[in-house]
Amino acid sequence: MNKNKYGATIKAIEYHLPKTFEDNSMLSINNPEWRMDDIFNKTGINKRWISNENETSIDLAYVAAKKVIDKFDTEKIDTLLYVTQSPEYFLPSSSCILQDKLSLPSNIKAFDINLGCSGYVYGLSMASAYIESGLSENVLLVCSDTYTKYVLPDDRTSRPIFSDAASATLVSKSVSKNIGYFSFGTDGSGFDKLIVKDGAAKSNFMISNAKPSLYMNGAEVFMFTMGTIPDNVEKVLIESSNTINDIDYFFFHQASKIVLENLSRKLKLPKEKVYSCIEEIGNTVSSSIPIALKIASNSRILKKKNKLLLSGFGVGLSWGSCILEWDDLL
Amino acid sequence: MNKITKNELFDLIEKALELPNGSINDESSGDNMEAWDSLGHLSILVLLDKRVNGKASKISNLAVATSVQNISKILVDEGMM
């Protein structure tokens, strides 16, 4: 294959949620002191999906990925990218386990990407770069996390927000370049603003609670988002010679209602251009953007050739935005 | 942008926390006000950012400034008060 002759396009997106959910009325029974109206006003989330005790991110990922490969020739998938921060093991890579479960060919490239809410945009960039370089033709990008396993029952910052989910996106060789421009950023000085501290090498593989738990400083993560993401979005618009008017829809990481509203305010985006499905899905970390894309596609909101701007941001601190031209899905 | 006054800051925090006029004073903080919890602080940050034309979101220290005194000091240092 000649290098740079081809572009990449999204050919399929599927997702999977666990069977169990928890809505705000259930949350309020367990935590009667929480002001649920106030929490809902900030988060915009009413429902969170909770994996069961023995259900791992790979179990969720398998179902989402199977929906894609059932529509496509498995033998043609030459790359598996797996975005997760909820691995089954420290090692080996979860992608290797998933390759076997999905009966994907053994001549496949497979590796994990340890990123959270920015992971989908990073994954898309790697998928399209592999394709454009001629190293791949069909990349299965799977995102899956079970953050709820890290969240303590009385954690009022994280419990009303995070949901478990998996998504699978098929990125394929195309005559047109539908994915990109990209713009990324990293600020590791904020590594401890959203963190699972215990259980790995820094804590000598010990845990202080019954299980490793998530800590999030909501205000600091919010200020990072408000201070950083509008500039990143403007950068990708400028570099791609687009303006806000050229973009049909903005798909931000579905962090919370207050984040989506204030990003819209700071970027002066028309409300109808900012897609949200957060109320019934929750914050599904790296799957939040592909799930939103799929729901919008199913609802016939997205049309072929629509120009979209995607932006993911969060744990790391890490962020990335890109332009995407929408294509018909399988 | 007009500099924010101390009384304006009091009003802004009262509005963010949905408190009656006169509830906030120089000594108010997240430690002594139930309404000034993490959710309340987010509301303060949003209103403050709107008031100073989006400049507050570039000041990361405001995220952990959970008292009138700390917020005031940061705003003075930044030339906004």
Catalytic: which of A46, A117, A178, A277? A117
Whether A37 has its CB under 8 Å from any CB of chain B: the answer is no
Residue closest to A140 by CA, chosen among A165, A179, A168: A168
Do A169 and A185 reside in the same domain of the chain?
no
Residue closest to A309 by CA, chosen among A290, A325, A286: A325
Contacts of B36 in chain A (CB under 8 A): none
User: How many Cβ pairs within 8 Å bridge chains A and B?
Assistant: 46
Asked if residue A22 is part of any domain, the answer here is yes
Identify the pLDDT of residue A1: 41
Asked if residue A138 is part of any domain, the answer here is yes
* pLDDT per residue as tens digits for the range B7-44: 999 999 999 999 999 999 999 999 999 899 988 999 99
Do A145 and A186 reside in the same domain of the chain?
no
What's the domain count of chain A? 2
Mean of the pLDDT values across residues B51-78?
94
Calculate how close chain B gets to A239, using CA atoms only, in Å: 23
Do A71 and A15 reside in the same domain of the chain?
yes
* Residue where a domain terminates, one of A150, A176, A202: A176
- 């000598």: which residue's tokens? A204
Contacts of A217 in chain B (CB under 8 A): 63-64
Which residue is closest to A221 within chain B, CA to CA?
A: B63
Calculate how close chain B gets to A309, using CA atoms only, in Å: 22
Alpha carbon distance A112, A92 (integer Å): 10
Do A172 and A185 reside in the same domain of the chain?
no
Q: Which domain holds residue A271?
A: 181-190+218-325
Annotated active-site residue A253? The verdict is yes
Do A158 and A225 reside in the same domain of the chain?
no
Asked if residue A330 is part of any domain, the answer here is no
CA distances from A13 to A96, A170, A171, A215 (A): 21, 6, 9, 31
Whether A157 has its CB under 8 Å from any CB of chain B: the answer is yes
Asked if residue A210 is part of any domain, the answer here is no
Do A135 and A225 reside in the same domain of the chain?
no
Residues 6+ apart with CB under 8 A from A136: A78, A79, A109, A127, A130, A173
Instruction: Tell if the CB–CB gap between A35 and B60 is shorter than 8 Å.
Output: no
Identify the pLDDT of residue A4: 59
* Residue where a domain terminates, one of A176, A203, A229: A176
Whether A212 has its CB under 8 Å from any CB of chain B: the answer is no
Do A230 and A139 reside in the same domain of the chain?
no
Alpha carbon distance A13, A330 (integer Å): 8
Catalytic: which of A143, A277, A283, A322? A283
* Residue where a domain terminates, one of A176, A203, A228: A176
Residue-by-residue pLDDT tens, chain A, 330 positions? 445 578 999 999 999 999 999 999 999 998 999 989 989 999 999 999 999 999 999 999 999 999 999 999 999 999 999 999 999 999 999 999 999 999 999 999 999 999 999 999 999 999 999 999 999 999 999 999 999 999 999 898 999 999 999 999 999 999 999 999 999 999 999 999 999 999 898 888 888 877 889 999 999 999 999 999 999 999 999 999 999 999 999 999 999 999 999 999 999 999 999 999 999 999 999 999 999 999 999 999 999 999 999 999 999 999 999 999 999 888
The ipTM (two decimal places) reads: 0.91
Residue closest to A8 by CA, chosen among A96, A131, A98, A150: A131
Asked if residue A240 is part of any domain, the answer here is yes
Give Dmax over CA atoms of chain B in angstroms: 32
Which residue is closest to B48 within chain A, CA to CA?
A: A223
Do A185 and A147 reside in the same domain of the chain?
no
Catalytic: which of A178, A253, A277, A322? A253
Alpha carbon distance A270, A247 (integer Å): 11
CATH code of the domain containing A146 = 3.40.47.10
pTM greater than the 0.90 cutoff: yes
Asked if residue A198 is part of any domain, the answer here is no
